[in-house]
A and B are shown apart, each in its own frame.
Chain A
Amino acid sequence: MNPDEVLSEPRAARSSREGRGWVEGVILSLIRYAARQAPPSLSARLEEEWLADLTARQGTIARLRFAFGCCWATRVIALELATAVGAAAGLSAGKTAALFAGAGPSILSRRTTVFVLIGALHTLVILALASGITREVLQAIPPIQVVSVPKAPERVEPPPPPAPTLEQFRPVVPLTPWTGEAPAGAISVPTVEGPPPTVSATPRQVIRVAGGPGPGFPNTEDYYPEASRRLEEKGLTTVSVCVDGAGRLAADPVVARSSGSVRLDAAAVRLAKAASGHYRPTTEDGRPVSSCYPFGVRFTLK
């Protein structure tokens, strides 16, 4: 069977492969070329056989490898056959191989062919780059954009806070200046001011009358110790008492200032305790309020 007829027979299967492009054409051309380079007695057989076996190869790479393999096989087959025939005829292997190569001795040696092929490949690549591919590649590469990054601003340390001045510590609410004037007739005994007056936004004069001994207050002579009389002890003991609005002791009285005699001081404390309920409470604007104040107990010999 003619190899050309073989190629035309399975047209349905082959046409699709040949339609893939020029690669299929190269593959077929390589196989046909390899078969023609084989010894004439095997040329037609090998072409048909290889083209038939090519249909079993799937994929362009595998088919290309098969085609190049056929080219190599041709040279091996020619060399082996030439060796066998030449041995019988007494010729050298190279000359007999050339005889079996069909096309006669090649003007190019194998090394020269390789150099020519490499040069051709380089030429193709250079031409491709010089023509359209170069422009496509350059267009595919995005242009270099120069982006100027502004210099980072230097970090400016915040200025240190100004040194505090006395003006900043001025009270927001102005204090009411104390006039030092006390209400007339309010002091009958030594008094101690209560808690410091609160500063109000609207200063107002509060009439405060300190408390002291009230009606029914015990007599000092009744609490004069007998031992102190015999020893002629005398003196003034200042006792601090806390009195509620009803005139009763809110806490135990304490000696604020001693007379110098323990017995007289103890007698003054007993008197202060016994006087609970008979104290005159401190008043503010006439209203009795709880307060603490001292009062003096004087022991004198008659």
Chain B
Amino acid sequence: MSFQTLKALEAFLENPTEELSGADVHKRSGIASGTLYPILLRLESAGWFVSRWETIDPVSAGRPRRRLYRLTRNGLARASDVFASFGRGVSA
């Protein structure tokens, strides 16, 4: 797992139940778009994330709807394992 992927996961683990758009992940992790969106799609294909369109009225909101990503239960567990393994590695 690449360092950029870990940073993206870390952005979601701040609040695992929170849904984040690609712009939100960029703000939290600083990952460039060329790297971020492949990561999001890769993790979604792997079942770590689920995504949906934001349910807003673009006209009243004054902006287009965004694609929101959220950790799945499986993704949260595996991401927690990844970071926990890093923690064990450090503590050992």
CB distance from A261 to the nearest CB of B (A): 132
Q: Are A10 and B34 in contact (CB under 8 A)?
A: no
Identity of the chain B residue whose Cβ is nearest the Cβ of A31 in the assembled complex: B33
**Which residues on B sit within 8 Å (CB–CB) of A65?**
32-33
**Which residues on A sit within 8 Å (CB–CB) of B62?**
10, 12-13
Q: In which size bucket is the chain B interface?
A: 20 to 34
Digitize A38-66: 1 where CB-to-B-CB distance is under 8 Å, 0 elsewhere: 00001001101111110111000000011
CB distance from A23 to the nearest CB of B (A): 17
Asked if A207 is at the interface of the complex by the 8 Å CB criterion, the answer is no
Q: In which size bucket is the chain A interface?
A: 20 to 34
**Which residues on A sit within 8 Å (CB–CB) of B92?**
none
Q: Are A46 and B37 in contact (CB under 8 A)?
A: yes
Give chain B's interface secondary structure class: helix
Asked if A76 is at the interface of the complex by the 8 Å CB criterion, the answer is yes
CB distance from A88 to the nearest CB of B (A): 13
Q: Are A57 and B23 in contact (CB under 8 A)?
A: yes
Digitize A215-248: 1 where CB-to-B-CB distance is under 8 Å, 0 elsewhere: 0000000000000000000000000000000000
Asked if B22 is at the interface of the complex by the 8 Å CB criterion, the answer is yes
CB distance from A247 to the nearest CB of B (A): 126
Binding site for A on B (CB under 8 A): 21-23, 26-27, 32-38, 41-42, 45, 53, 58-59, 61-67
- 12 inter-chain pairs at a CB distance below 8 angstroms, sorted by A residue, are A10-B59, A48-B64, A50-B37, A55-B64, A56-B21, A65-B32, A68-B34, A70-B34, A73-B37, A73-B38, A77-B38, A80-B41
